[in-house]
Amino acid sequence: MILVLNFGGQYSHLIARRVREFGVYSEILPCDVSLKEIGKLKPDGIILSGGPAGVYEHNAPTMDRKILDLGIPIFGICYGLQLMAKFVGGEVLAGKLKEFGKKILYVKKNGKLLKGLSRKEQVWMSHGDLVTKLPKDFEILASTDSCPIAAFENNSKKLYGIQFHAEVVHTPKGSQILKNFIFDICKAKKYWHMKNLSKKLIKEIKKEVGKNSVIMGVSGGVDSTVAATLMHKAIGNRLYCVFVDHGLIRKNEAEEVKNFFEKKLKFKHFYFVDASILFLEKLKGVTDPEEKRKIIGHTFIEVFESKVIELEKKHPTIKFLGQGTIYPDRIESAQPTKYASKIKSHHNITLPDKMKLKVIEPLKEFYKDEVRKLGKELKIPAEILNRHPFPGPGLAIRILGEVTEERLKILREADYIFIEELKKSGYYDMTWQAFAALLPVKAVGVMGDARTYEYIISLRAVTSIDAMTADWAKLPNELLEKISTRIINEVRGVNRLVYDISQKPPATIEYE
């Protein structure tokens, strides 16, 4: 097995998942784990994750220095490389360089770690500190134009490091580097696989829920649908699915979801709750993104608990709240480790402290692509599995600033046109996620020889595998022009469109 020590990095679980994809078992432990605990696991190798801190910061995450002397191959990624360099007597320059996104790696020597790489490779960077000096017995393998030590190795001490992120898909040869470490350096063997994972999860749900019942929020998206299907197979008609229309959903969404659950999945208990007035009233005047998410998350629970009271008269066994939370939600909300940096609070994990229901989240350790594989195993229709992600807070976090009925109406229509044209052109299935966002500013325009002063719509389309990193989709100019023309002509209140070409990181996919 390969052990991953978590220093609070956004990609710690992604590292472990990559290892598992290669057929080798991987486990994640906090970076301050004891030598005794590591000894019990008998890992073939250890990977030190990235993290949001700098190695010289007060209370920066660290590990037992003696781990480097275990004689086990150790591979530091980003922060892990910097910490390793600090421990062995190297020099780390703090806060002088900011590298985010794609960079060109210049390979000086392949060594064992970079075997199979060409002299120039694309890599994905996300760091602020860098290593500037190492002891003489360390070999520098690669650099970038601004990072002199981007990869190193010391075969006698079995220490290896890279400043970039090999675990993300935007480092094309990243898998090769990980395989070099796992198989050539650690000599690990393949024996782990995910076969019949749905059966395992269904068994776990049965055990946890027992004879009780579950009320579950569903949106019609991939995550909540797969989670609900797992629940339904585990407990049958003791699952009560609730679709809450918070007034922040897309055009025609409510009817589509209702038809799907009742007619295609044939769930016995499906309830539609129109709470749009309640949500919009609570969001009135709110502009802070975190406050929006908190209000939406708490109001969801209020609505669910109100529905439970109503249902308890006939079904007194509802004790659980089912959610389709996946791992990226928890990572961005800094749930897995005390060292993680909170990026934004996802509504489904911003829950009240005194909530009456116990939360059950069967997908909380999985990424979007794994959830889709599970859905396929569960025979969920492709039309659902291939849907683009839609956040729980809905259009509220795609309207920057205050949410109003006027802004919702404008955005709903603009988003509908964008997605409709993507589907017509065939680009919907070629992008991982696409949507329109409304910016809280107005610009001057001219229509019919008259001055206009209207909103700006930003179009966002990205390619990704697991939402941990994303690149902007290279849509044809002709398609963007057609979408722009339609929205400006058909949506009253808009006179200007922009196309977002930001990568993640440094941007997130959603705006708030």
pLDDT at 365 (0 to 100)? 77
Orientation angle between helical segments 197-209 and 222-235, nearest 10 degrees: 60
Looking at residue 328, what is its pLDDT? 66
Minimum mean pLDDT range among 127-131, 225-229, 423-427, 478-482: 127-131
Measure the CA–CA gap between 170 and 45, rounded to whole angstroms. Answer: 24
Please state, rounded to an integer, the average pLDDT across all residues of the chain: 89
The mean per-residue pLDDT over the stretch 91-114 comes to 86
Q: What tens digit of pLDDT does each residue of 273-331 get?
A: 999 999 999 999 999 999 999 999 889 888 877 888 888 788 889 899 898 988 767 65
What strands, in cross-sheet order, belong to the sheet with 239-245? 270-274, 239-245, 213-217, 318-322, 358-360
Mean pLDDT of 447-452: 84
Return the bridge partners of 435, or none: 460
* Orientation angle between helical segments 276-283 and 289-312, nearest 10 degrees: 150
Question: What proportion of the chain, given as a percentage, has pLDDT over 70?
Answer: 93
- DSSP lists the bridge partners of residue 140 as 152
DSSP H or E segment with residue 443 = strand 433-447
Residue whose structure tokens are 């395989």: 179
The residues that are catalytic are 78, 165, 167
User: What value does the mean pLDDT take over residues 353-363?
Assistant: 79
**383 or 42: which leads in pLDDT:** 42
Domains of the chain by range and CATH?
Answer: 2-185 (3.40.50.880), 197-385 (3.40.50.620), 404-499 (3.30.300.10)
pLDDT for position 450: 85
What the block records as the tokens of 121 is 């490779």
Poorest-pLDDT segment among 58-67, 429-438, 481-490: 58-67
Nearest Cα to 396, choosing from 332, 469, 464, 344? 344
* Closest to 44 measured CA to CA, from 174, 191, 193, 154: 191
Residue carrying structure tokens 């269904």:
202
- In tens, the pLDDT along 168-210 reads 888 999 999 999 999 999 999 998 776 778 888 999 999 999 9
Q: What is the pLDDT of residues 328-347, one digit of tens each?
A: 676 544 444 555 444 444 44
Given this model, what pLDDT does residue 330 score?
62
Neighbour count for residue 254 (Cβ, 10 Å):
17
Q: What is the pLDDT of residue 82?
A: 94
Tell me whether strands 239-245 and 213-217 are parallel, antiparallel or unpaired.
parallel
Q: Which of 81-90, 234-243, 351-360, 452-461 has the lowest mean pLDDT?
A: 351-360
Three-state SS at 164: coil
Contacts of 195 (CB under 8 A, 6+ apart): none
pLDDT attached to residue 78: 92
Interatomic CA distance for residues 214 and 319, integer angstroms: 6
pLDDT of 16 strictly over 60: yes
Place of tokens 């569903």: 218
Does residue 195 sit in helix, strand or coil?
Answer: coil
pLDDT, mean of residues 352-362: 75
Neighbours of 319 (CB within 10 A): 17
pLDDT of residue 337: 53
Residue 348 pLDDT > 80: no
Pick the closest to residue 143 from 135, 248, 134 (CA basis): 134
Q: b vs e for 5-19, b when ≥16 Cβ sit within 10 Å of the residue's Cβ? A: bbbbbbbbbbbbbbb
Least confident of 202-211, 487-496, 502-511: 502-511
pLDDT tens, position by position, 19-51: 988 989 888 888 999 999 999 999 999 999 998
pLDDT tens digits along 236-285: 999 999 998 999 999 998 888 888 888 888 888 999 999 999 999 999 99
Cβ neighbours of residue 263 closer than 8 Å, sequence gap 6 or more:
none
Contact 207, 315 (CB under 8 A): no
What does the pLDDT read at residue 297?
Answer: 86
Residue found under tokens 């044939």: 266
